[in-house]
Structure formats: C-alpha cells, structure tokens
C-alpha cells in the first residue's frame, strides 16, 4: 500500500484515483487465511446452510378450508357415535 501511495504521489494523481489505487493494492496483496482463500476460490460453498422450518397455514375463509381425515387407526379408536373424523390443524390448536 505504501508503494501504491508513493506511485500516486509521483504521478501526481488526485485523491479519488489515489484512494482507488490504495484500495486495489489492499485487495490484491493482503494476507488471508486458508479458509477464506478456499471460500473465495469456490463461491458455491456456503458458510452456513440452514433453512428456517416452513409450515403451511390455510388462511382461507373457514367455509373454504379443507380438512384432512384421520387415519384408519385413529378412527377405530373413536367411539361409534363420534363425528370427529377430521384432524386438528394449526388454526384449531
């Protein structure tokens, strides 16, 4: 960076060109760790790959919402006169 500054002073460049030259010298000649070098060489590697859990919530009007039936095992455990054949969804909880 000192060499870039000296070169800019020698060529009598303005402040903007001087700062660009120093910034270029910093990005081209700085030391970095092995991990950073590998990440820069292979940008398809993700540092962290985590997705938030997504849950579908049916926000239609109550009369337009669909319901899922309980499984046969759950239905067999219900009393014979029970009319509760649908699973509870997140809105009913």
pLDDT for the residue 41: 79
Q: Provide the 10 A C-beta neighbour count for residue 11.
A: 10
The CA-to-CA distance between both ends of the chain, in Å, stands at 63
What is the pTM (predicted TM-score) of this model? 0.35
d(CA 55, CA 41): 36
Tens digits of pLDDT across the chain (93 residues): 678 778 888 888 888 888 888 888 877 777 778 878 777 777 777 766 666 777 778 888 888 888 888 898 988 888 888 888 888 877 776
d(CA 7, CA 72): 82
């Amino acid at each position: 960076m000192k060499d870039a500054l000296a070169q800019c002073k020698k060529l009598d460049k303005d402040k903007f060109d001087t700062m660009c030259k120093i910034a270029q010298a910093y990005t081209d000649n700085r030391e970095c760790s092995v991990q950073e070098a590998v990440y820069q060489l292979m940008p398809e590697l993700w540092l962290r790959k985590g997705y938030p859990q997504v849950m579908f919530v049916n926000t239609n009007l109550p009369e337009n919402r669909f319901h899922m039936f309980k499984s046969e095992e759950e239905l067999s455990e219900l009393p014979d006169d029970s009319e509760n054949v649908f699973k509870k969804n997140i809105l009913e909880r």
